[in-house]
Each structure stands twice: as C-alpha cells, then as structure tokens.
Structure 1
Amino acid sequence: MVRIIITEDLGMTKICAKMVPKNLAPKQRETRKNVAPDMLELREINPELLNRVITGGESFFFFFQYDPQTKRQSSQWCSNGSPRPKKARMSKSKVKCMLVCFFDSKGIVHKEWVPPGQTVIQYYYKEILERLHKRVLRVLVNIAYDWILHHNNVPSRTALVKTAVKGHHFQTTQDAQKAVTRVLEDITEDEFQTCYHQRQKRWRKSVQSGGNYFEGDNTKLD
C-alpha cells in the first residue's frame, strides 16, 4: 500500500546516487556558477570561439598481454621415451599506458604515448605542450596565433575509446597502442562537433544547477 502511494500517487521513483569525483566546496560551486554565464556571453559575442579551442589531457589505458604461442604451436618432435616438453602457463599481465591527446572541433590535433617509466611532471608536460604548439603552427594556420588551450581529461572521448578496446587482449604494448590509435582515427568530425556543442549545454546546466554537479539529473533547459 505504501509503495503504491509513493510510486503512483506521489509519482516518486527510487534511484541510486550518482558517483561524482568529489563534493564541491561553496567557493568551487560559486566559481562554476559565475564562469558558465561568462562563457555563454563570450560565445554569443563570438560564434567562432569554440573553433579556437583545443582540448586535451592525459588518460590511462589498461591492457592485458598474453602469450601468443598456443599449446599446439609449442609441440616438438621427440624420440620414443623422451620426456614430454614442458611449457609454463603464463598468466595475463596487466599493462598500463598513458596517452596524451589534444583535439579541436574537427578532430585530433596531436597525440603521443608517454614512454614506460616516464613520470609526467611539469618539465615533461612542458615539452609536450611545446610539441603541440609546433603542430598547431604547422597544421592549424588559421588559429596558429590565436588558439585557446582547454586542459581537461576529455572523459567523453576516452570513454568511447576505452569501450571500443575493452575485452581485447594484445600481444604487445605496441599492438594495444595501435588499436587505440585506430579507434581515435575512426572518430568522425561530426562526433567532435557534437562534443563541442555539448559544452554550451553544460554551461547552461551549470548556471541552472547553481554550480553543482548535474550529471544524471535530467536537467531541463529553459
């Protein structure tokens, strides 16, 4: 009876909590609330604003390596009475790779894999940004001296890539990196455009939510 009243009469539903990175402090919420309308105003003044933005960041990918040689492939010719060859069972080994990737509203601008053992400290990241700058000068001449860097861990793009390679086992780290690169290259320009258009919606939602997290809230825009 109580359930009927709650669900049918009151129209309520029971939903799980949305996991968020952290609880925002009042100052952080205020900053989000104030910055969002400023960005919307700048976008209104300059419709081409987002075309000057290059978004990028680093993301970890975890892969499983496996032994490429099957039991049958390891067979050997032996004389009668010879002991049977032994082959140690290899367990899957988990390999972690870091990708640093930058993209604009049309596609990937620059990407590179961080060498194994390399810690991404400020000096190393400065070198990456210098290589990005040279790349922009070479391939994005129209915004070469007027582009804006938006540093972010690009969750929507990395999630798409991680989903595409999830469950696959690779013989070498290089094979895994090639697989990720192929997925990145297959992302269409329309998908990048959609990603950039969603930014404007997120700015409006940020204003309406008072700077709070709104993922999963089904916020309706005015």
Structure 2
Amino acid sequence: MLHPGRIDLGLGRSSGANQVTTQALQPNHEDFGQKFAELLAFFQGDFPDGHPYGSIIATPGRGNTPAIWLLGSGSYSAQLAGSLGLPFAHGGHFMGSNSARAIETYHEAFRPSETLEEPYAIVSVGVICMETEELAQRYHNAAYVSTVRAMSGEPGPLLSPEEIEATPDGPWAPAQDHFVSDVLSHHVVGSPTIVKAELEDLTKRTGANELMIATIMHGYEHRLRSYELIAEACLKGNPA
C-alpha cells in the first residue's frame, strides 16, 4: 500500500474508457449532479421528505462517509467541487494541458463547507524516473509506441524498450499518434534531479496541495524503482 491508513472515495463523470465501454457502463447518461447528491444522502441519511429512496438504509454506509473527492479533467467537476466545498482531483496524467486552469476554476468556485474551510486539490501527473535521463526516455518512448499501437488496432500489454526496438513495425494511426504525443508531452520524465525540479514547478504552477503520480511503464520492478527514486529525491532534506 503506497499510502497506509488512507481511504478516499473519488467520483467523476467519465468512465475512463472508450465510447463503447462508456455506453455499456452508463447507458442512461443520468445527471451526475443528481446522482452525486443521492450518494451523499445515502451516506448521511438526509433524503428530503417523500424522496423515493428515503426509506433505504445504506449499510454500512450511513454515518460512515469516507473522504470524498470529485475527479475531473475539465471545468465541470472543478466548479461542482468548489461550489460544494469539497476537495478536487484533476486528471493531469491524461489532460496535463488543463491542470492549471482546472485548479484555478476550482479555487474561483470554492465556497467553505463543513468539509473544508479552504480549497484542497490534487493534480495527477505521469512520471517516469530512472537513474539516468537516457534510460528514463527509453522507457517513456516504449510506453508511447505501445500506447499508439494499442489505440491503432493492436491492443496488448506495454512492451519493453528491447521489444519495441526489436519490432519497429506495427499499426500506426496518425490521429492516435497525435493524441498520445499530446498526452505524454505533459508527463515528467528523467533522472531524479530533473523529476524533482519539474514536480516542484508543477506544484507552483497549479497551486496543488498534493501530487498523485501515475507511471505508465513496462515491468513491475521498473515501476517500483521509479517510485523509489522519486521518493528519495523529493524527501531528501525534508522530514519524512
């Protein structure tokens, strides 16, 4: 567990999938604001008189509300989270171009509540950290090629740099290339010194209270090593 003792509930409108999967998961496209209000009422037991769900007792949910975050990549959830006085998490690992604006929107919309007196935001960011810049860029390029191929008609697991370099050919749709290039251009890639500096800059630019790191990288051991290097670099000289 990367954050022992912490349980948060993150809620957002997007399924994080393609259009067909989204349709399967959300066939009716019901109003997110309404569904969110109903969820809170299940936790708090405060449905209005006469509400059709008022007689339902959510067990063990009622009276045990976890820390709730609204998730989003644009302005809708940012505005809703701010107006309700809830914490907000922005999906910067796939919409990094909008991170600063989304957090600004959240701050502008924020109204103090029983949950928060001041705004509190997370920005997620894609990061690959290796001992050297060259090695980090090799893994980053492998993730880029694997992702474009998967979106161009050859789905499968992320390939290693060696596999990518040994099999350079594959399906390659220009539109998918452009999309993946844009997404990954906002990721932080490099040695520990470079990664620390760029994460600090991201925190300043967005005003985020926390950063959440997502690592798109082949191999469990390599991903674990990336997280270790990030932790060592960012905690160096700071109390744990």
Please give the range of the TM-score, normalised by the shorter of the 2 chains.
under 0.3
TM-score (norm 1): 0.24
Q: Which has the higher contact order (CA 8 A, sep 6+)?
A: 1
Larger Rg: 1
TM-score (norm 2): 0.23
